[in-house]
């Protein structure tokens, strides 16, 4: 019987050692601690399509037309993501005082600007989309039935902080 107990205990330790190391860390309040989402080169190509697919699924559920990526809106979003990092604050004005409308005009966008969503976070694009959908003002930018085009970009700092920007237009 002792031999069986020893085998069971040793087996338990052996199985515990086989863990992936991706344990969820929990804070003193019992809630999961934030983890840094590091964007690597393999992720870079996938992120825009995961976001677009998710946005279009949300829009389809409400009967809205799907959005298409627009290179000019992507450029405006990329410029603003980097600029927010330089300013170290999430807001809709550029370091030169530019507004979202100014930025889309600068890149040659001739459509109508619907809106801009921004975020400063360590979270994934889908977690960021979820946060935007939870707020009425940012949800309106995503779900506006007039929107037909989208630009989406990010800038990740060395410390892992990500500055996300989404711009919609028609």
Q: What is the rounded average pLDDT for all residues in the chain?
A: 87
Note the pLDDT of residue 33.
60
Instruction: Give the confidence band of 70 by pLDDT, cuts at 50, 70, 90.
Output: very high
- The model carries a pTM of 0.79
pLDDT in tens, 149-169: 999 999 999 999 999 999 999
In percent, how much of the chain has pLDDT > 70? 82
95 DSSP 8-state letter: T
* Number of helices and strands in the chain (H, E): 7, 4
Lowest mean pLDDT, pick from 3-17, 28-42, 91-105 = 3-17
Note the pLDDT of residue 36.
78
**Domain 41-169: which CATH number of 3.10.180.10, 3.60.70.12, 3.30.365.10, 3.40.33.10:** 3.40.33.10
Mean pLDDT, residues 47-75: 98
Note the pLDDT of residue 25.
62
Please list, residue by residue across 104-143, b when 16 or more beta carbons sit within 10 angstroms of its beta carbon and e when fewer do: beebebeeebbbbbbbbbbbbbeebbeebeeeeebeebbb
pLDDT in tens, 118-139: 999 989 999 999 999 999 999 9
> Among 38, 44, 66, 63, which residue's Cα sits nearest to residue 53?
66
Supply 71's token pair.
């290179």
């Amino acid at each position: 019987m002792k031999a069986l107990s020893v085998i069971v205990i040793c087996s338990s330790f052996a199985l515990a050692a086989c863990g992936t190391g991706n344990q969820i860390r929990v804070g003193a309040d019992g809630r999961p601690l934030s983890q840094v989402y590091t964007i690597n080169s393999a992720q870079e190509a996938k992120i825009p399509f995961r976001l677009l697919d998710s946005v279009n699924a949300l829009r389809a559920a409400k009967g809205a037309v799907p959005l298409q990526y627009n290179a000019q809106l992507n450029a405006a979003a990329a410029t603003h993501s980097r600029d927010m990092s330089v300013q170290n604050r999430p807001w809709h004005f550029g370091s030169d005082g530019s507004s979202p409308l100014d930025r889309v005009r600068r890149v040659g966008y001739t459509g109508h600007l619907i809106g801009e969503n921004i975020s400063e976070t360590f979270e994934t694009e889908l977690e960021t989309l979820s946060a935007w959908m939870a707020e009425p003002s940012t949800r309106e930018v995503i779900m506006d039935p007039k929107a037909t085009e989208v630009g989406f970009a990010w800038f990740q700092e060395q410390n892992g902080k990500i500055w996300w920007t989404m711009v919609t237009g028609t």
